[in-house]
Structure 1
Amino acid sequence: MTFDAAVVGTGPNGLAAGVTLARAGLRVALFEAADTIGGGLRTTSLFDSDVQHDVCAAVHPMAAASAFFRRFDLPARGVRLLQPDIPYAHPLPGGRAAAAWRSLSRTAAHLGPDGRRWMQLLGPLADRSPAVVDLLLSDQRSVPGDLLAPLLLGARVPSLATRLTPFGLLRTEPARALLTGVAAHAVGRLPSVTSAAVALLLAHTAHSTGWPLPEGGSARIADALAADITAHGGVFHTGQRIRDLAELGDVPLVLLDVGPKEFLAMAGPRLPERYRRSLRRYRYGPGAAKADFLTDGPIPWTNPLVGRAGTVHLGGTRADIVRRETATAAGRPVEDPFVLVVDPAVTDPTREAGGRRPVWAYAHVPHGDPRDPVDLIRRRIEEYAPGFGDTIVASRGLSARQYEEYNPNYVGGDIGAGALTLRQSLARPVARWNPYETPLPGVYLCSAATPPGPSVHGMCGHHAALAALRRHHGLRTPPALAPYP
């Protein structure tokens, strides 16, 4: 059978590209090096056949917010996006904790003196959430559909981006720490323009579309995408790593859900030297080290409020987070890194079986860090949840260095597929008007190394597929993505 297009890599962006191309009527073949599809959307049993662990991403704000997923409509396809009442919480020394509820007004009441300021910062963004999300998840080349969105962001980013006015009007430590923990999702030096944009994107969606967990695990999202591709004639080839573009034969259109390092290996001397030099200059960011725990009970947080949150940020005070993230970005290991923790059964009780449940945790570490993160992360959790170690039945760690072995796109453990600097947000992976198109005819990049960057939003793949359809098939109107009645 011949195909009109090939997609290499079946992470969220490769799958989104496959959906878009197949919905446009193209015959699509998708190639995946691993035995299962999904990339960062894989879910599997690690220790107990009845307990499922998310191998990479676990919480999915953008699966409810991005334009691609809004149109694809996961809930209509049977994927339940479960919303915790408290999207994220931030324990502090001394047993205190700050929390962000879905309700903006309840969050404001919780933050006391900073409540009104929190509402002023995030309320207008939440009111226009689709426009704000669409701007930040755009191809960074298009005119915004809602011109108020860039004005709202432009008025807020500067106050969050410099040390001179740290986090704008926020004056109390709980509110500052709460927002800084969200900014740390940028995984880099703090503060910065990009961390400010990330903070505003994620913090406001907590009060609009939420920070949901898919019932049953992240693989449910990948399954829904794959089912739509298959229903429209797409074919998957798993366990087949493409090492050279020549292996794809004469397929007229190729979309690559790979990073610059992998693309250089696959395309080699076919690329012009100037473009190759640009790809070699692409910068990767700090790494992530992952620990998975099987426990026989919930995490015994000192502050019970933390135990109700979908996501927990362990970083201490605002100053502590800035110190740790800046040192990590500079390549200096710290013994008390910033850690994200998710106990999925808090939001999705189906994840618990026989009293046992998965606990998911990431630590931000220097690029290529070889340390086993299990004890590092366990100690950080026990600072705020004494006795956590006693609940652990089994554990597994993946260092930043091992993460690249698991997925070649995660160079040095950089799960964002490239440093989120201001330059690389605009020129990702190289400075070109069409960042998805490469010098090779019909070959496009669609990974998180292209705009708008990391997260499970599907927009890199969707944008790349639309660019390819415009160029090669004259398609100006995006294909319908909603499930058929």
Structure 2
Amino acid sequence: MSVKYDTIVVGSGPNGLAAAITLQQRGHPVLLIEGKGQVGGGLRTSELTLPGFHHDVCSAIHPMAIHSPFLSSLPLADFGLEYIHSAIAAAHPFDGGSAAYVTHSIEDTASALGKDEQVYLDLIGPVIEDWPFIINSILAPLRFPDHPFRLAKFGLKALRSASAIARKFSTRKGKGLWGGMAAHSIQPLTNTSTAAVGLVLSAAAHIKGWPMAKGGSQAVANAMAAYFKHLGGTIQTGRWVQSVEELPQARALVLDVTPAQLLKIAGHRFTSFYRSQLQRYRYGMGVFKLDWALSGPIPFLSEECRKAATIHIGGAFEEIALSESSASSGKMIDKPFVLLAQQSLFDVSRAPGGQHTAWGYCHVPNGSAVDMTDIIEQQVERFAPGFKKLILSRHAMNAQQMEIYNPNYIGGDINGGIMDIRQLYTRPSLSLTPYRTSDRQIYICSSSTPPGGGVHGMCGYHAAQTILKDLF
């Protein structure tokens, strides 16, 4: 007798897993289908360079995972997930050997900024104070908030550009630290609402930190999958879905894909108007990513950088802003903003004894095939002389190769579409229920839906809540 499922979820990234878990928790049998041989999507760890060196293929540090109302509600520790924190959440080196940094203490972080101490406290302090009241609204689709006045206070800052906020700071350290935080938005820092990402990530660092998963990001996906199966869910791996017609009968089909794949898999089922909305969906910058096997720790000149799992390499705010605007407009520069993670300093399971791993990427024009290896390594060498001598092996992926690895990364866009003001809440279409498609059986739950990119599972959770309301 064949097994029947209420719902079939295609794609096992954090959002696909979240949708599957939410529906299975409510007693609706779910089949989760994954194209690759293991679950994870952006949560995968592999020996990309040499045996014994475990690299995070995509996502590496997970500040939003521990803040996610959904993920934090799951008993994932019972299924093997352990988070590790570095003493400093993120550090930002400057020429000459100094650095700005973010620790758990907002007071210590602000004090190290000198003349910008009060500016930082005034900027981030209110976000921390209001966090318990606004986080559910920040990580949700557009709707009337539970605490409208607190959210409005946050919005007055969040909807501004990062460049406008930067003008509040008077020191190189204050501006640079802010620029590195805001550059996680993966768009020009002059864009409206780029301040939102900087505010959220800064506050998150002070509230719960920026952790990594022990053993690698795959541990997050493995724990979610184990819990899902514990609930009675079924997983099939190694099965690429080319069309929804291939799938077994179910009341709902939930696709953890971006609009480009949605059109390929199910476009023939949609109205012409909905198809046109998906066709107009915009993707953002791509990434060029490197993983290194190292004979020793990265020799950063700054002591603070040697205590941080995450390093923002970009120098002054103006340099970071130029890097982001250039990549967005299709240009390459020789000093890009580089996001770097050095997990093995704090997780000895990542590399053989005495040796280390490092992970880093820069933003590039969407679909770029340009090799940025030398440029990225020179940027690291700039703040850590001797770094290149430590490289035992490296693994590189350009923006095109990122998409080949994961078809959701269109042109190397790891955010599922640009998250500018035009697509912050209209992802992937203008709708108060963005998880529904024009076909009443088909739903979308990827990072191309609110609240967008990041390891938090909230896109999948909200998609599942929509399905429960519609069908069950």
Which range, TM-score by smaller chain? Answer: over 0.9
- Find the counterpart in structure 1 of residue 105 from structure 2: 103
2:59 to 29, 42, 57: 57
What is the deviation of 1:168? 5.1
Whole-angstrom CA distance in 1 between matches of 2:17 and 2:281: 24
TM-score by length of 1: 0.94
TM-score by length of 2: 0.97
What is the deviation of 1:185? 0.3
Q: Deviations over 1:70-95 (max 9, x none)?
A: 21143454422112221111111222
- Find the counterpart in structure 2 of residue 327 from structure 1: 326
- Find the counterpart in structure 2 of residue 149 from structure 1: 150
2:9 to 7, 10, 31: 7
Asked if 2 retains the 8 angstrom alpha-carbon contact of 1:5 and 1:26, the reply is: yes
Q: For residues 98 and 162 of structure 1, do their structure 2 counterparts lie closer, same or farther at Cα, with a shift above 3 Å needed?
A: closer
Whole-angstrom CA distance in 2 between matches of 1:4 and 1:276: 26
What is the deviation of 1:132? 3.1
Whole-angstrom CA distance in 2 between matches of 1:331 and 1:189: 12
What is the deviation of 1:162? 6.5
Whole-angstrom CA distance in 2 between matches of 1:472 and 1:45: 43
Q: What's the % identity of the aligned pairs?
A: 38
Whole-angstrom CA distance in 1 between matches of 2:242 and 2:157: 44
Secondary structure at the aligned position of 2:66 is classed as: helix
Whole-angstrom CA distance in 1 between matches of 2:455 and 2:104: 20
- Find the counterpart in structure 1 of residue 338 from structure 2: 339
- Find the counterpart in structure 2 of residue 356 from structure 1: 355
Whole-angstrom CA distance in 1 between matches of 2:79 and 2:237: 24
Whole-angstrom CA distance in 2 between matches of 1:470 and 1:437: 11
Whole-angstrom CA distance in 2 between matches of 1:213 and 1:238: 25
Q: Any gaps of 5 or more consecutive residues in structure 2?
A: none
Q: Deviations over 1:364-385 (max 9, x none)?
A: 1110110233222211111111
Whole-angstrom CA distance in 1 between matches of 2:12 and 2:162: 38
Whole-angstrom CA distance in 2 between matches of 1:413 and 1:166: 28
Q: Does 1:33 align with 2:35?
A: yes
Whole-angstrom CA distance in 1 between matches of 2:470 and 2:293: 49
Secondary structure at the aligned position of 1:310 is classed as: strand
| 1:447 partner letter | S
Asked if 2 retains the 8 angstrom alpha-carbon contact of 1:133 and 1:201, the reply is: no
What is the deviation of 1:432? 1.5
Secondary structure at the aligned position of 2:184 is classed as: helix
Secondary structure at the aligned position of 2:32 is classed as: strand
Matches within 5 A, 1:13-412: 13-75=15-77, 77-140=79-142, 142-157=143-158, 160-161=160-161, 163=163, 165-167=164-166, 169-412=168-411
Q: Deviations over 1:442-468 (max 9, x none)?
A: 210000000010000000000000100
- Find the counterpart in structure 2 of residue 414 from structure 1: 413
Whole-angstrom CA distance in 1 between matches of 2:67 and 2:132: 7
| 1:30 partner letter | L
| 1:472 partner letter | L
Whole-angstrom CA distance in 1 between matches of 2:168 and 2:193: 19
Asked if 2 retains the 8 angstrom alpha-carbon contact of 1:417 and 1:449, the reply is: yes
Whole-angstrom CA distance in 2 between matches of 1:319 and 1:166: 13
Whole-angstrom CA distance in 2 between matches of 1:352 and 1:396: 15
Whole-angstrom CA distance in 1 between matches of 2:90 and 2:18: 27
Whole-angstrom CA distance in 1 between matches of 2:188 and 2:357: 30
| 1:231 partner letter | H
What is the deviation of 1:210? 1.1
- Find the counterpart in structure 2 of residue 431 from structure 1: 430
What is the deviation of 1:233? 1.4
What is the deviation of 1:308? 0.8
Whole-angstrom CA distance in 2 between matches of 1:39 and 1:227: 15
Whole-angstrom CA distance in 2 between matches of 1:86 and 1:374: 27
Whole-angstrom CA distance in 1 between matches of 2:261 and 2:170: 45
Asked if 2 retains the 8 angstrom alpha-carbon contact of 1:186 and 1:194, the reply is: no
- Find the counterpart in structure 2 of residue 479 from structure 1: none
Whole-angstrom CA distance in 1 between matches of 2:353 and 2:49: 13
- Find the counterpart in structure 2 of residue 482 from structure 1: none
Q: For residues 121 and 74 of structure 1, do their structure 2 counterparts lie closer, same or farther at Cα, with a shift above 3 Å needed?
A: farther
Asked if 2 retains the 8 angstrom alpha-carbon contact of 1:135 and 1:149, the reply is: no
Asked if 1 retains the 8 angstrom alpha-carbon contact of 2:436 and 2:442, the reply is: yes
| 1:150 partner letter | L
Asked if 2 retains the 8 angstrom alpha-carbon contact of 1:187 and 1:364, the reply is: yes
Q: Any gaps of 5 or more consecutive residues in structure 1?
A: 474-485
Q: Deviations over 1:370-419 (max 9, x none)?
A: 02332222111111111111101000100001101001110000000101
Whole-angstrom CA distance in 2 between matches of 1:253 and 1:62: 28
| 1:143 partner letter | F
What is the deviation of 1:125? 1.3
* Runs of 4+ displaced beyond 3 Å: 73-78
What is the deviation of 1:47? 2.9
Moved more, 237-246 or 94-103: 94-103
Whole-angstrom CA distance in 1 between matches of 2:233 and 2:108: 46
Asked if 2 retains the 8 angstrom alpha-carbon contact of 1:374 and 1:395, the reply is: no
Whole-angstrom CA distance in 1 between matches of 2:295 and 2:149: 49
Q: Deviations over 1:286-321 (max 9, x none)?
A: 001110000011001121221111110111111111
Q: For residues 77 and 103 of structure 1, do their structure 2 counterparts lie closer, same or farther at Cα, with a shift above 3 Å needed?
A: farther
Whole-angstrom CA distance in 2 between matches of 1:402 and 1:390: 27
Secondary structure at the aligned position of 1:227 is classed as: helix
What is the deviation of 1:55? 0.6
What is the deviation of 1:127? 2.4
Moved more, 186-195 or 314-323: 186-195
Asked if 2 retains the 8 angstrom alpha-carbon contact of 1:98 and 1:175, the reply is: yes
Q: Deviations over 1:261-291 (max 9, x none)?
A: 0010011322111111111110000001110
Secondary structure at the aligned position of 1:22 is classed as: helix
Whole-angstrom CA distance in 1 between matches of 2:280 and 2:352: 48
What is the deviation of 1:130? 3.0
Moved more, 78-87 or 101-110: 78-87
Whole-angstrom CA distance in 2 between matches of 1:154 and 1:232: 39
- Find the counterpart in structure 2 of residue 476 from structure 1: none
What is the deviation of 1:166? 3.9
